[in-house]
Structure 1
Amino acid sequence: MDKPTRDPSEAPAHEAAGRQGGPRGGSRRRLLLWGTALVGAAVIAAAFLRPHTHTTGGSGRHGHQAVGDAQPVAVATVHPGDMPIELTELGTVVPITNVTVQPRVDGYLMQVLFTEGQHVKKGDLLALIDTRPYEVALAQYQGQLASDIAQLQQARVDNDRYQRLVRQNSIATQTAQDQQYKVAQLEGTVKVDQAMVDNEKLQLVYCHVIAPVDGRVGIRQVDMGNYVTAGQTNGLVILTQMQPISVIFTLPETELGAVAERLRTGIALPVAAWDSTNTRKIADGTVSVLDSQIDTSTGTVRLRSIFTNQDETLFPNQFVNAHLLVNTQHNVLLVPTNAVQTGPNGPFTYVVKPDKTVEVRDIKTGATHGDVVVAASGLKDGDVVVTDGTDRLHAGSKVTIPAAADARTGTDTKTGADTKAGTDNGSRSGAQGRQ
């Protein structure tokens, strides 16, 4: 049996009303959902952003320090040791002997017997200049010498005869005297001839250019076949003594007294040559001489130090940093330089007490070498000082020491390497604590 159909116009009044009000009800529900979501987000944000303070032994209002407020630090232990008193000055490598090998005669360069950069010994033959013109001149002067010697011999024979005749009153006295003068004249001529012969022999020697000192030859200035002259500009080659070699550096006049006193006692002052960046030691040597006067324009005095330079790590005109060891202080208290702070009253350190709080200790410092400084007063052997993490410390601050650094505190401070390791660990731990 078919169900009767209902005309939509005959629907109940509440259904029609529900259909008419549907869109407005949906908007209210969406607004309600969004509001609920925003409130929940605000609650969650407040929960995460609200500071959490866990206290022990009472609340923060009663003055008890929170565990979370303890500052992670790196520490080191003050210990006795030796402190070198060292001066670092600018220096230049200067050869003890630096020779420009010059030709001493004129002529064509027939042979070059050295290789550029070669090490030669004193007396080694370096080059040969054409000897033929000087050999010809030598033969000429030798002939002239022989002729004059013959004339001298004849004049002496005649002089002997004239002296006998004058005693016999056979010739005039004037004739005998003239013959004596002729002999003396010819003796002088022979000496001149002999000097000319010797000079030509010397020129032949100068044709052979030899090394005047031991050293290393540089780049040759003249090639074989060129005509060279005595004393020409730049010479043939530059010969530099490499072993030993010296470093000349300047010393402030304010430091002159201590250095001069040590030199007068005959004690050798060690000098270490470091590279231009002052990060790598090149060689070790000793001071050889102190200059005789102070340069008034700079207020410094020059010193020369000698280095064996067996491996030739020092090169002429090289710029170096000269580390001069003047003295050594023994059994002084040493503290890392990064533990020393500067305040209104001067230098001070944070000393860690047994209860893991710090106190501010005013100190006086002495000589510094590398990353260590002498504690002249204010500290004692065994004091534990803060080396890193001092930015938020004050007297009475609670600190924490990382386990690795704490374990090293009593054992590693005799060596700078372990102390530095503890400092690095403390730095990393302090950074994590601040984060």
Structure 2
Amino acid sequence: MVNNKILLCLAVLFLVVTAGCSKQQSARPPQEVAVKAMQVIQQDTPVTYEFVGEIIAKEEVPIKAQISGNISQKLIKGGDNVRAGQPLFEIDQRKYSAAVADAQAQVAQAQASLSNIRRDVARYQSLANQGGIAVQTLDTSVSQAEQAQAQVNAYQAKLDQAKNDLADTTVVSPVDGRIGVGELSVGTYVQAGSTVLATVSTVDPIQVRFSMSENEYLKFARMGSSPDAWGQNLKLMLSDGTEYPLTGHLEQVDRGLANQTGTLAMKAAFANPNQLLVPGMFAKIVAIGEKRQGAILIPQRAVQEMLGKTFVTVVGANSEAVSKPVKLGPKIGNLQIVEEGLTVQDVVVVEGFAKAQPGSPLKVSMIGLNDLNIPVAK
């Protein structure tokens, strides 16, 4: 009996202690969440538009032989820079040299025959003036001289063609550029006008091919900005995130939207003196559009997305986390224009918001754009 009373007392004591501890724990304030935050930026901001593009050669020229034969000599190697007029290949000249010699002999023979006939014409002319021969004989001789002259002309044309064919045994580059690595080897037989010996791509300037959607085109058009206006001083962002040091300009605009994609194809030209840009690379074209007066800007990394909606976490009046829905505008580099949802007085959480639930107390460290290595848009 005594033991039961003791056990009952211990149980009551345990419940009292446990209840007291639970009360103390429930009364303990929630732990602060350490975050980094920054004041919302407000400034006049030129809006930029980005378009994904592919770097292409302005000209890609397939090199074809004008005559048939075997390649006897290759004067370049794949990837070489070549100049317009620079010899690239030699085609076996032997039969073309022989054709020139044969045509020269035919021309010489025809010219000799023509000289004899002309002397006959001169004699017949003198005799005809004296009445020594019939006029018909003179006319026949003159006709023979005309035929001989035509024969000389025909053989001369044949000689000219043979000389051209002989000259074409040396294949030269028609443009400055870089030759591909898939050129043919010595001994390969090439067919006139069909076999591609190599391809030369121009490298300076170079083009960037990109497309603009219908809505983007309408946006530029409604701003009253023609391609001649916004298409100047284009910037190029390379795939590693660096900016190409030279600006470019819009050079070609397609005649209409593509049926399948509904986009307008364009090409911009960039100087490429150091040949940093290579066909096949991807880059972003950055064009400047309208200027937003007093735009609200925040870092892109502060934006949260959930179920198709965008939010940011701001520091409330009592240093608690407050989630605010926002309507975003264009991107400006690594910054984001906010069209609705924030004011210039707001302090936005940039780092640590994933642990800060709405209402959570915050331990705020204020930072600036320099701390995030983000340049301010100007």
Partner of 2:75: 113
The alignment status of 1:96 with 2:58, answered yes or no, reads yes
Partner of 1:263: 227
Provide, for residues 195-234 of structure 1, a one-character-per-residue CA deviation record: whole Å limited to 9, x for no partner.
Answer: 111111111111112222222223344322333332344x
| Distance in 1 of aligned mates of 2:331 and 2:296 | 9
Q: 1:167 to 1:106 in 2, by over 3 A?
A: same
- Look up the match of 2:177: 215
Aligned CA distance change for structure 1 residues 40 and 358 (closer, same or farther; 3 Å) = closer
TM-score, normalising length: structure 2 = 0.78
Please point out which of 129, 146, 157 is paired with 1:184. Answer: 146
Equivalent pair of 1:273/1:323 in contact (CA under 8 Å):
yes
TM-score by length of structure 1 reads 0.69
| CA shift for structure 1 position 273 | 4.2
Aligned to 1:426: none
- Larger Rg: 1 or 2? 1
Change (3 A) 1:139 1:70: closer
Trace 1:238-387 onto structure 2 (pairs within 5 A): 238-257=199-218, 258=220, 261-265=225-229, 268-275=232-239, 280-281=241-242, 283=244, 285-286=247-248, 287-318=250-281, 320-327=282-289, 329=291, 331-336=293-298, 337=300, 352=315, 356=319, 365-376=328-339, 380-386=343-349
Residue 98 of structure 1 deviates from its aligned partner by 1.6
| Structure 1 residues 254-283: Cα deviation after superposition (integer angstroms, max 9, x where no partner) | 2225279343348614141433xxx63474
Distance verdict in 2 for CA 1:204–1:360, change over 3 Å: closer
1:200 maps to which of 162, 171, 176:
162
The 5 Å alignment of 1:125-204 reads 125-204=87-166
1:178-208 deviation digits (Å, cap 9, x = unpaired): 2222222111111111111111111111111
- Residue 38 of structure 1: CA displacement? 7.2
Which moved further from structure 2: 375-384 or 201-210? 375-384
What is the letter of the counterpart of residue 184 of structure 2?
V
Residues 112 and 224 in structure 1, CA contact (< 8 A), matched pair in contact too: yes
Tell me if the contact between 1:262 and 1:269 (Cα under 8 Å) persists in the aligned partners. Answer: no
CA distance, structure 2, for counterparts of residue 321 and residue 266 of structure 1:
18
Pair 1:384–1:208, CA change in 2 (3 A): same
1:86 corresponding residue in structure 2: 48
Name structure 1 gaps, 5 residues minimum.
1-24, 55-65, 421-435
Task: State the alpha-carbon separation in 1 of the partners of residues 10 and 273 from structure 2.
Answer: 82
CA distance in 1, matches of 2:26, 2:374: 34
Aligned length in residues? 365
1:77 has 2:32 as partner: no
CA RMSD of aligned residues (A): 4.1
Structure with larger RCO (C-alpha < 8 A, sep 6+): 2
Q: Distance in 2 between matches of 1:179 and 1:38?
A: 149
* 1:143 Cα deviation from its structure 2 partner: 0.9
Q: How does 1:53-72 map to 2 (within 5 A)?
A: 68=30
Q: Measure the CA separation in 1 of the matches of 2:148 and 2:374.
A: 93
Check whether the contact 1:245–1:306 (CA below 8 A) recurs between aligned residues: yes
Instruction: State the match for 1:6 in structure 2.
Output: none
Q: Contact 1:332/1:375 (CA < 8 Å) preserved in 2?
A: no
Q: 1:291-313 CA deviation, whole Å, 9 max, x = no partner?
A: 22222222111111223344544
Ranges in structure 2 where 5+ consecutive residues have no aligned partner: none
